[in-house]
Amino acid sequence: MTRHILRTTSSRAVTVRRRGRSGAPAVLLAPFLILFTACTLIPIGYAVYLSLFSERRSGLGFGGSTSVFTGLGNYTRALTDHAFLDGFANIAQYCLVYIPVMVGFSLLLALLLDSTLARARRFFQLALFMPHAVPGIIAALIWMYLYTPGISPVIDALNAAGTQADILGHPLAAVVNIAAWEWTGYNMVIFYAALQAIPREVLEAAVVDGAGPLRTAFSVKIPLIRASLTMVGLFTMIGSLQLFTEPMILHGTAPGVTSAWTPNMYAYTAAFERGDYGLAAASSVLLAVVAAALSLIVTRISRSRSDRRTEVTR
């Protein structure tokens, strides 16, 4: 009897699936596919197309220009341009400083929230997350004022205390600080959620074994949320490649943030300041390739990790 019912349900499910195959999935996927095509595939295709052409002029250059197919010429130009490569070097430096600082702070805050010492958890969780709700461009504008000597109360106070604070002269520190404020709270929430998911028995066992709060944090909690830590680190790295808004805003006030401080800014300057759309497209495509390669590595790593974990559980 039971078996019979089971069989009918499953056969009915099959018919429903078959009937729906033509309709529902197509309809549900359509908005995504249309937007994806219009906003991602077509622009990428157009960028690749643009990247194969260069504008050429003759004589003194006042007779108008013609578009010439230059093959991979723009790619060679981008790859041999120091400014473009320096952009990647800046990103690398930025990651080296920013990721440990930001992840360190997020982890510290998450552990504090998760610890038995914490009071007013809800409040701090929200308060620490707040800076993330400020859009990057607004945050950068506010920080720009806070960095500018002569109008910033912070810099004035530091100078009054006898230091010669010149954060605008140190682009890396200036950008890392803005980004850290923006993302620490966000990642703290991720870590906190991971910490909350740790089975309480494990923590109790640690306490029974005589581990203090510090020992529990370092030997039990952190190892158990290592997967989240790695993920946040890798995603931040990929995100850093796209760095644009914050340094672009600072560019106006801090001349040390050059017009090609990040690869994205290089593409922007090439297109909109120098009118060299071919070079801009080529550098954007190169940036996209690097980002795609990194993403691939990340997915590989995460997949192998989860595979390993299932094996262990099995």
Question: Burial, 304: exposed, middle or buried (Cβ in 10 Å; 0-12, 13-18, 19+)?
Answer: exposed
Binding of another protein by 272 (CB under 8 A):
yes
Residue from 269, 281, 285, 287 binding another protein (CB under 8 A) = 269
The SS3 call for residue 54 is: strand
Binding of another protein by 165 (CB under 8 A):
no
Please name the residue ranges forming H helices in the chain. 2-22, 24-36, 42-50, 73-79, 82-114, 121-133, 136-147, 153-160, 171-196, 200-208, 213-216, 222-224, 226-241, 245-251, 263-268, 277-313
Least distance in Å: CB of 243 to another protein?
Answer: 17
Question: Burial, 184: exposed, middle or buried (Cβ in 10 Å; 0-12, 13-18, 19+)?
Answer: buried
What pairs with residue 67 in β-bridges?
55
Binding of another protein by 148 (CB under 8 A):
yes
Instruction: Looking at residues 71 to 130 of the shown chain, list those that interact with another protein (rule: CB under 8 A).
Output: 77, 83
Residue from 18, 59, 160, 313 binding another protein (CB under 8 A) = 59
Instruction: Looking at residues 17 to 36 of the shown chain, list those that interact with another protein (rule: CB under 8 A).
Output: 19, 23-24, 27-28, 30-31, 34-35
Count of positions on this chain that bind another protein (CB under 8 A):
52
Query: Tokens 């890392």 correspond to what residue?
Result: 176
Residue from 38, 133, 134, 137 binding another protein (CB under 8 A) = 38
Query: Which residues in this chain contact another protein in the complex, by CB under 8 A?
Result: 12, 16, 19, 23-24, 27-28, 30-31, 34-35, 38-39, 54-65, 68, 77, 83, 145, 148-151, 166, 169, 252-260, 269, 271-277
